[in-house]
Structure 1
Amino acid sequence: MAEFSNSNTVIVAAGENLPLTETAVKAPACIVHREGSGLVTLRGLTSGQCRARFKVSFGGNIAIPTGGTVGPISVALAVGGEPLTSATAIVTPAAVENYFNVFVAAFIEVPRGCCVTVAVKNTSTQAVSIANSNLIVERVA
């Protein structure tokens, strides 16, 4: 298991990944992350199985930053740069700086000997403020 976070409030541009600046729980060899990067690499290190399975969970607070336009905003877990529709959180704040708590999770399978990158992506059409974010990656099989 590994836990990466960003306790600051970060403005993430549309289509960009949330930078993860702290490592709360050190990652095992099958989970690779460089502090400050928005990407986490999952490695299919397995000897007897055809694939490794990971559970990836994200929680945080999102809002429209000052100067933004009131409307729906969203974040999603992305695999290989592609957002997962099944792991997308959408909220519609009534005003800027109106924070909502969001949570998404997904199981990610990595073939033996391969690597997959995961990230938290702003899937909105405008910048989003993300605060007190937390990404947990667990190797489950």
Structure 2
Amino acid sequence: MPEYTANAPQTVAPGQNVPLTETPIACNRGYVCHRDGSGIVTLRGITNQCRARYRVSADGNIAVAAGGTAGAISVSLAITGEPLNSATAIVTPAAVGDLFNVHVEAIIDVPKGCCLTIALENTSTQAITAQNVNIIVDRIA
């Protein structure tokens, strides 16, 4: 059950991933790979079955970045660069800098012998501030 975090506030451009700067708990079995500072986490299909199944959850605080316009902003779990509509969080701050706590989660199947990348992506049309971001990966099957 690895955990990846980014506690300091950081500005994330539209369509970009939230960089994960710390690894409080690493995966010691090689099922999940990550390089500190990267927004991408790799899930590996190491299994004797047809697929490896993971539960990926992400939460954190988001706000409209300085210089932006108050309005709806969103983040989404993305698989291989494609945001999941079912794992999207949308909030509407009344003012720039107003933080909202968001949570998204998805079950992801990785075919045997394959790899998939996941990330928490800014799916807004403007830059956001992301703070106290936490991604946890559980291998469930």
TM-score normalised by length of structure 1: 0.98
Residue-pair matches, total: 140
Structure 1 residue runs without a partner (length 5+): none
User: Within the alignment, does 1:70 sit opposite 2:75 as a pair?
Assistant: no
Structure 1 residue aligned with 2:35: 34
User: Within the alignment, does 1:82 sit opposite 2:85 as a pair?
Assistant: no
Structure 1 residue aligned with 2:120: 120
The 10-residue stretch of structure 1 (24-33 or 74-83) with the greater mean CA deviation from structure 2:
24-33
What's the CA shift string for 1:59-107, capped at 9, x where partnerless? Answer: 0000001210111000000001000000000000000000000000000
Alignment partners' CA distance in 1, 2:24 and 2:134: 9
Q: Which runs of 4+ in 1 moved over 6 A?
A: none
The 10-residue stretch of structure 1 (12-21 or 26-35) with the greater mean CA deviation from structure 2:
26-35
- 1:42 counterpart letter in structure 2: L
Structure 2 residue aligned with 1:44: 45
Structure 1 residue aligned with 2:96: 96
Structure 2 residue runs without a partner (length 5+): none
Once superposed, what is the RMSD of the aligned Cα atoms? Answer: 0.5
Alignment partners' CA distance in 2, 1:2 and 1:138: 7
Q: Secondary structure at the match of 1:11?
A: strand
TM-score normalised by length of structure 2: 0.98
CA deviation after TM superposition for structure 1 residue 54, in Å: 0.3
Task: Give the fraction of aligned pairs with identical amino acids, expressed as a percent.
Answer: 59
